[in-house]
Structure 1
């Protein structure tokens, strides 16, 4: 949808809707008309991934070619058989760019590369002749350094560097005065140049260092002073905390996504002040430095918040008050906790968050027994317990997690028995046991193959999909 916006396809119908909301409405309409099929939705039920039927795709490609809207390039057809001339958009699906580099690209507005290994030198002639280019998407390629020609693209609005090898951006990036989206997630960027603050039209800035855990960014990307000038930003992700940055980010009141890393004790006041002013915030991520406690007392979360990710140890004595202060957040549906130091006693503090639909505890639980009491997490649909090295018992009372659809245990080596009371989870459709005790996994596999109707088999008889995984053996097996 961001590419639709930067391409100019989306215009505001009225002042009550943002460009993003209008774009999402169009996407939903395409689904409703059966032109797209939903593959995945996010935790709020919004569309995350869609697929086009082969027949519809062929019709779309033919129509795009007929109207000079766009073409697909796969390198076949022999020398000189392919021409960009007149095409507004090109989708590159092979690494052989020789034919493409010899074509005139003066009408080109969007270039999407879907091949990992490309010769950057062969991109230069295309970029040089593409003065109208507004979208350059190099996501997933092996590119390490952007050609200088990119920074002469005055009309560029979308620059996609996600999952590339790019390690730095030069100061001349400041020339891209019309840039609205810079997506460099999962790249090798460690810092942003000073000139980034000149890009006053930026709406989305996604960066991420390689040093990440499963859900929480550990390191963070360094940004220069002056970030308050990017007043239109809606997303700012994986930024390394400094006192200056946290004071400046308070001016970015349009943020919907904010993710900050390497937070220290002395940052608490500035961070709380900044978040208080983000009245539209939907996604928030906070990760502390390795030797720090996650100090969140006094943090007032906005009522719009839907997803919260916290990385770092929480103070056990302050957990009851902390989570109780968030119990009024009806929109909070997804919570990720990592390294949180939760145990048997403090887990119950989470039960006040009754609107949760997704709960991920990764290296967050340090106790031996997990108990879910009747009435706990009434709306929860997905639960992941990961890297709980001491966990050996799980109890589920009747009436707990009545809407749970998916339950995953990952790297819980001491878990030798199925959760006691798992039979009460009537809505459960999927159970995954990944690297729990080998004893439990082998027991379930053997009893699946035998005629014996054991108590364990009866417990999970209502679950449609039961999958076991032993990573060190390369075993991934669906036993139901």
Structure 2
């Protein structure tokens, strides 16, 4: 059963933070528009939360987590000059607002589907100079729309792509990208040849991101790329049996975290130079086969067993 907040919530004029995460709240009353001092509204729920079109009135709002917020009309957000975080808003709501007016916006998460025009989205966001981090969450039925246009996002340094149906990497990336996360994408082709060309990339996290149908996947990292990569995390890579690292590759890598890659048979000797290696929920067979020289060479080796 859903519950609703009382209309009287609007009288709490000095309220700055309201967390409704994982609650059964199904509707926010119109009086919410009177909360002019509210800075954080956290509606990270798994079911929808109905709202009136009052968000634009919350002039002090800095962080809005709107996972399942729905409005009968396009949600107006333009003019919120203090807004820094806007998480999981719908594609259509973004496109119908003048995003340039959000002069403090740094982190933006958007639900997209099969019909979303990502090229137009990137054009729409290209002049939001404060925007540093972009997350795209796929909520469609078949596969992602074309992800062209990301190169127009000059100011974006962190990008996350989340959701099944992304069969191949985007044709381009933000030119100043330093952090990339691929989660539950199930790419069909080895992503490393394309990713290692991202010259400023320092952080790469891959989670359920690459799926080889033949259950014999390899990740091959050449000496020609990843010149700035300092952190690499591999989570739940189904069928990943081998990581090959060419001699001279990953010279800047400081930390490698591998978690639940249950088919991985061994680690390459070329990783002896890293300072931190974290193995989380990995098979005992792999742990027992770790080279003694590698163990002694890595200053910070941490093993969390299944």
Which range, TM-score by smaller chain?
0.7 to 0.9
State the match for 1:204 in structure 2. Answer: 62
2:281 aligns with 435
Partner Cα distance (1:202, 1:470) in 2: 46
TM-score by length of 1: 0.55
Aligned match for 1:289, one of 139, 148, 151: 139
Q: Is the CA contact (8 Å cut-off) linking 2:66 and 2:86 kept in structure 1?
A: no
SS in 1 for 2:10: helix
For the 8 Å contact 1:366–1:390, the answer to whether it is kept is: yes
Pick closer, same or farther for the CA change 1:206–1:296 going to 2, 3 Å.
same
2:8–2:31 Cα contact (<8 Å) kept: no
The 5 Å alignment of 1:23-42 reads none
What is the CA distance between 1:245 and its match in structure 2? 4.0
Counterpart pick for 1:310 among 145, 154, 161? 161
How big is the shift at 1:244?
A: 4.6
| Partner Cα distance (2:43, 2:150) in 1 | 27
> Which deviations, in whole Å up to 9, do the C-alpha atoms of 1:237-285 show, x marking residues without a partner?
11133x3542225454422211101433244354233222322211111
Change in CA separation of 1:258 and 1:205 when aligned onto 2, cut-off 3 Å: same
In 1, Cα distance between equivalents of 2:153 and 2:298: 38
SS of corresponding position for 2:123? helix
**3-state SS of the aligned residue for 1:378?**
coil
Q: Compared with structure 1, are the counterparts of its residues 177 and 366 closer, same or farther at alpha carbon in structure 2 (3 Å cutoff)?
A: same
List alignment gaps of at least 5 residues for structure 2.
none
2:236 to 374, 387, 390: 387
- Going by fraction, where is helix more abundant, 1 or 2? 1
Is 1:153 the counterpart of 2:12 in the alignment?
yes
- Aligned-partner Cα distance in 1 for 2:286–2:255: 19
**Paired residues of 1:363 and 1:386 also in contact (CA < 8 A):** yes
Larger RCO, structures 1/2 (Cα 8 Å, 6+ apart):
2
The answer on 1:277 being equivalent to 2:123 is no
**Residue from 217, 221, 232 that aligns with 2:69:** 221
CA 178–412 in structure 1, closer or farther in 2 if over 3 Å, else same: same
Q: Is the 2:117–2:146 Cα contact (8 Å) retained in structure 1? A: no
Please name the residue that 1:25 is paired with: none
Work out the CA distance in 1 between the residues paired with 2:242 and 2:113: 34
* 1:458 pairs with 2:293: yes
SS of equivalent to 1:248: coil
1:416 offset after TM fit, Å?
A: 1.9
SS in 2 for 1:173: helix
Cα distance in 2 for partners of 1:436, 1:315 equals 27
Given the superposition, is the C-alpha separation of residues 229 and 343 from structure 1 closer, same or farther in structure 2, using an over 3 Å criterion?
A: closer
Q: 2-side partners of 1:246 and 1:355: how far apart?
A: 29
Report the Cα offset of residue 340 of structure 1. Answer: 3.3
Alignment partner of 1:405 is 2:254:
yes
Deviation at 1:420, TM superposition (A): 4.3
Q: Per-residue displacement from partner, 1:393-431 (whole Å, max 9, x unpaired)? A: 0111222111211111112110121234222xx2x2221
The separation in 1 between residues aligned to 2:192 and 2:240, in whole angstroms, is 13
Which residue number corresponds to residue 256 of structure 1?
106
Alignment deviations for residues 315-360 of structure 1 (CA, whole Å, 9 cap, x no partner):
53x74x424xx4x32xx22111123344564421111212111100
Separation in 2, partners of 1:407, 1:305: 24
Displacement of 1:432 in angstroms is 1.8
Task: Work out the CA distance in 1 between the residues paired with 2:257 and 2:44.
Answer: 25
CA RMSD of aligned residues (A): 2.8
Listed one character per residue, the Cα deviations across residues 76-106 of structure 1 (whole Å, up to 9, x for unaligned) are: xxxxxxxxxxxxxxxxxxxxxxxxxxxxxxx
Larger Rg belongs to: 1
How far the C-alpha of 1:177 sits from its partner, in A, is 2.7
Matches within 5 A, 1:1-400: 150-156=9-15, 158-161=16-19, 163=21, 165=23, 167-168=25-26, 169-179=28-38, 181-184=39-42, 186-187=44-45, 190-191=48-49, 193-207=51-65, 209=67, 220-223=68-71, 224-232=73-81, 233-241=83-91, 243-248=92-97, 250-254=99-103, 255-291=105-141, 292-312=143-163, 313-316=165-168, 319=170, 321-323=171-173, 326=174, 328-329=175-176, 332-342=177-187, 345-367=190-212, 368-400=217-249
Greater fraction of residues in strand? 2
Kindly state the Cα deviation for residue 295 of structure 1 after the two structures are TM-superposed: 1.9
Distance 1:246 1:221 in 2: 16
Task: State whether residues 288 and 294 of structure 1, in contact with CA within 8 Å, keep that contact through their aligned partners in structure 2.
Answer: no
2:33 partner SS: helix
